[in-house]
Structure 1
Amino acid sequence: MSQGKSILGEFGNKYLTSKGSLKRNNVINDLDKFDRELMTKLFKDPLIHN
């Protein structure tokens, strides 16, 4: 989970609150829409990709 949070943290407060909590709905909505930037960052990470 920390690897995912690290990647999501690169998007500022779009996917994480100021306290570091996950904004699940935002992540799910963007994954459902195949958000290009999010998908690219996730699949570039070897731990997540494999």
Structure 2
Amino acid sequence: MTPQENARDQLAAFTVHVTRHRPDLDGSWSGSPDPALHDHLVELQDLLTRHG
């Protein structure tokens, strides 16, 4: 696993946790400086759709 994949997976886990269990944690402070964030979230949504 590359550092980029690890970061993507950590962000995905946090996103899933917040949206399903702790929406009160969502906010601008949880933003990511990752310039490929949109691409990671699209990939995450695709994976969740196929395997969720």
| TM-score > 0.5, shorter chain as reference | no
TM-score under structure 2 length normalisation: 0.31
Largest Rg, 1 or 2: 2
Higher helix share: 2
